[in-house]
Amino acid sequence: MPADDTLDATEGTAWVRAVRRDELPTDGTGLALEVAGRAVALFSVDGEVRAIDDSCPHQGGSLGLGVVLEGEVTCPWHGWHFELATGRNTDGLAACVAVHRTRISAEGDVEVAWGDRSVRPERKSERREGCS
Ligand code: FES
């Protein structure tokens, strides 16, 4: 892939190949893998690919090994819940995980955005205390 195809010129974002789209499970489970040296959890939900940091902010459980239901992943260790679209904890806790944008390449690969603007919540009003 040419170098120009890996950069989003409007945001200075690098797109990093993670996995083939057809390798993602579609049964409510995800994948935990390393993308550019960072542990990431990938999920296929309602036809979209979601990417969040893999490490649960509680005690580091692998969220990629969790189960997704109605857009939320349940940590397999102690059951905390995180909304895949925002990374927010939905148990009322001041905890969240970074969310990364994804796209599908022409070759059918899932690519994860890597850059300052790839981490959400993007709007300060959506952030909870304790989340960055
Ligand atoms: S490590 Fe995730 S809930 Fe405890």
Residue type, 90: T
For Cα atoms 62, 38, 129, give the angle at the middle one, nearest 5 degrees. Answer: 70
Q: Which residues line ligand 1 (CB under 6 A)?
A: 56, 58-61, 75, 77-80
pLDDT of residue 126: 45
Weakest mean pLDDT among 13-27, 72-86, 115-129: 115-129
Q: What is the DSSP string of 33-92?
A: EEETTEEEEEEEETTEEEEEESB-TTT--BGGGSEEETTEEEPTTT--EEETTT-BBSSS
pLDDT of residue 70: 95
pLDDT of residue 122: 40
| Domain limits, the chain | 16-121
pLDDT of residue 7: 55
- Structure tokens belonging to residue 119: 């981490």
Q: Are strands 13-20 and 30-35 parallel, antiparallel or unpaired?
A: unpaired
Whether the Cβ atoms of residue 12 and residue 115 lie closer than 8 Å to each other: yes
Q: How far is the CA of 30 from the centre of ligand 1 (A)?
A: 16
pLDDT of residue 115: 73
Residue 25 clears pLDDT 90, i.e. is over it? yes
pLDDT of residue 103: 95
Counting Cβ atoms within 10 Å, is residue 79 exposed (0-12), middle (13-18) or buried (19+)?
exposed
* The domain over range 16-121 is classified in CATH as 2.102.10.10: yes
**pLDDT tens digits along 36-80:** 899 999 999 999 999 999 999 999 999 999 999 999 999 999 999
pTM assigned to the model: 0.83
Q: How far is the CA of 83 from the centre of ligand 1 (A)?
A: 14
Q: In the predicted model, what is the mean pLDDT of the chain?
A: 85
Which phi and psi (to 5°) does residue 116 adopt?
Answer: -55, -40
pLDDT of residue 114: 84
**pLDDT tens digits along 3-14:** 345 555 555 678
Q: CA 31, CA 54: separation in Å to the nearest integer?
A: 9
